[in-house]
Structure formats: C-alpha cells, structure tokens
C-alpha cells in the first residue's frame, strides 16, 4: 500500500506541477467564467467552481505534504551518510529531530566556528600578502 501511494503521490505531484496542468486549469477557469452569462451567474454556477477548487486543494495538500516529507527524509538520510563518512562532526547527524532551542544553540556554535575560520583565513591571507611584498621588494633591490 505504501509503495502504491508513494508512486501515486510522486506521479500526481509531477503532473500537477507541469506547465500543461497549469494551462488546463487556466482553461477550466476561463471556460467557467465565460459560461457565467449562460447560467445567469447563479449560485449553482458559483458553487461549481468553489466546490471543485476546494476538493482539488484539499486532496493536493496531502499529496504535496507526503512528497515533501519523503523528499526531506531522503535528503536528511543523504546528508547523514555524507557526515558519517567524512571528517565532519557526527553530532550533526539527526539534528532535524532537535528542539528549536537546541537547533539554535548548534547554529550559534557553527557561526562562532565559522567566524574563527574566517579570521584564520584572513590572517593567513595577510601573511601571504606581506611575504609577497617582501619578495617583490627584495627583487627590486637586487
């Protein structure tokens, strides 16, 4: 059942997100709008588009959510595998399950480490520039 639903959700999301599906929806809305005078812009005429769009929206929310949940889980699994097989800190595996506070604290820690790395890079860059200037000056004096 899960595989059938997953295939159905993926196929529906792919089709619903296509330019052709958008064009079909635009044509349906235009046909509905142009049919208004023939039905005297009645309540039944309005009810048709309201009911149709409500049903489609209701069902699409679940299909899109299912697709996004699966995509998110697949992405997290790929990232976890990259972390596990690299020199990265294993503490980052599964961080999507942390609370907002825990995630914010980890984010702040990463920002601090990034600032330290940036400062070290800037220092190294400045030292290289000084050495290059010294070499250039010593070549000119020779």
* Proportion of the chain above pLDDT 70, given as a percent: 96
User: Are 50 and 6 part of one and the same domain?
Assistant: yes
User: Are 111 and 132 part of one and the same domain?
Assistant: yes
d(CA 5, CA 8): 5
Cβ(9)–Cβ(67) under 8 Å? yes
User: Are 83 and 135 part of one and the same domain?
Assistant: no
d(CA 64, CA 12): 9
Q: How many domains does the chain have?
A: 2
CA atoms within 13 A on the CB side of 141: 6
User: Are 31 and 92 part of one and the same domain?
Assistant: yes
pTM over 0.95: no
User: Are 49 and 88 part of one and the same domain?
Assistant: yes
User: Are 57 and 104 part of one and the same domain?
Assistant: no
Question: Under 8 Å CB-to-CB from 83, ≥6 apart: which residues?
Answer: 89, 90, 92, 93
Provide the domain limits for residue 61.
1-97
d(CA 70, CA 74): 6
User: Are 58 and 37 part of one and the same domain?
Assistant: yes
Q: Using the predicted structure, report yes or no on whether residue 142 has a pLDDT greater than 70.
A: no
d(CA 110, CA 119): 14
User: Are 46 and 87 part of one and the same domain?
Assistant: yes
Neighbours of 44 (CB within 10 A): 8
User: Are 86 and 128 part of one and the same domain?
Assistant: no
* Proportion of the chain above pLDDT 90, given as a percent: 54
User: Are 22 and 57 part of one and the same domain?
Assistant: yes
Question: Smallest Cα–Cα separation from 89: which of 69, 68, 110?
Answer: 110
Q: Using the predicted structure, report yes or no on whether residue 34 has a pLDDT greater than 80.
A: yes
Question: Smallest Cα–Cα separation from 8: which of 52, 70, 55?
Answer: 70
């Amino acid at each position: 059942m899960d595989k059938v639903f997953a295939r159905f959700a993926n196929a529906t999301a792919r089709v619903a997100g296509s330019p052709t599906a958008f064009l079909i929806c635009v044509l349906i809305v235009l046909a509905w709008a142009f049919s208004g005078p023939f039905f005297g812009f009645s309540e039944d005429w309005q009810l048709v588009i309201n009911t149709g769009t409500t049903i489609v929206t209701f069902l699409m929310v679940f299909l899109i959510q299912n697709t996004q949940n699966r995509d998110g889980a697949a992405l997290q699994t790929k990232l976890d595998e990259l972390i596990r097989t690299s020199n990265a800190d294993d503490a980052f595996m599964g961080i999507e399950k942390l609370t907002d506070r825990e995630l914010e604290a980890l984010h702040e820690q990463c920002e601090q480490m990034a600032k330290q790395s940036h400062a070290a890079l800037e220092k190294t860059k400045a030292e290289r520039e000084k050495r290059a200037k010294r070499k250039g000056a010593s070549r000119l004096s020779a």
